Amino acid sequence: MTPKVIVITGATGTGKTTVQEYLAQHYPVTRIVTHTTRPPRAGEVDGRDYYFETEQSFQQRHYLESVVYSGYHYGSSREGIAAGFKRAPFPAIVLDTKGAITYARELGNQVVILFLTVSDPDQLMHRVTARGDDTVMLKQRFASPEYRRDLTMPLALKGRALQLNNDNWTQTQRKLDELMQHLQAE
């Protein structure tokens, strides 16, 4: 078995966190927690879902990559990856597509990239509304250039990322099971 970072990317609401949680529950996969200046959603816990930062504390950390997404800062560190590898052979991280491109470039064949899609993007608003997100923040997010950008696989990930349609959760689980069997046999 060759240890690898599993990068999960795609537009908001496509199911990145759901996929990460499923993998962590069923396989030797551990979640890499990243940093953000976004305020916590209802039920989110500091240190479990994110390291929630102020604008000032965010700037004091050292990142492998950092981005602005819908007006907030997000960043991940090499230390986070190293700590993930100590816990499990497959640390999994949820990133926007810009971050996924950086990981592909910086970590090469140490990463497997999953690009999640849904067939009908109108479903995404329904999904995140059902998740209980704040409506003002949702409007801002769906109007952001990052949201539109992440609906389509970027050129830099073509031939590099595995595209995974997540219209149907039962089918998605089956595809994830196949992927993990393959990764564990490598």
Ligand X SMILES: Nc1ncnc2c1ncn2[C@@H]1O[C@H](COP(=O)(O)OP(=O)(O)OP(=O)(O)O)[C@@H](O)[C@H]1O
Ligand Y SMILES: Nc1nc2c(ncn2[C@@H]2O[C@H](COP(=O)(O)O)[C@@H](O)[C@H]2O)c(=O)[nH]1
40 binds ligand X (CB under 6 A): no
Please report where in the chains the tokens 């003002």 appear, as a residue. Answer: 136
Q: Are strands 5-10 and 29-31 parallel, antiparallel or unpaired?
A: unpaired
42 binds ligand X (CB under 6 A): no
CB of 184 to ligand X, least distance (A): 23
CB of 3 to ligand Y, least distance (A): 20
Residue 78 bridge partners (DSSP): none
Binding-site member from 38, 73, 131, 160 for ligand X (CB under 6 A): 131
Residues 16-45 that bind ligand Y (CB under 6 A): 16, 34, 38
Q: How crowded is the C-beta side of 117, counted as CA atoms within 13 Å?
A: 14
**Residue among 108 and 145 whose Cβ is closer to ligand X:** 145
Please report where in the chains the tokens 């090469």 appear, as a residue. Answer: 108
Measured CA to CA, the distance from residue 53 to residue 61 in angstroms comes to: 10
- How many chain residues interact with ligand Y (CB under 6 A)? 15
CB 119 within 8 A of CB 165: yes
95 binds ligand Y (CB under 6 A): yes
41 binds ligand X (CB under 6 A): no
76 binds ligand Y (CB under 6 A): yes
Measured CA to CA, the distance from residue 15 to residue 127 in angstroms comes to: 9
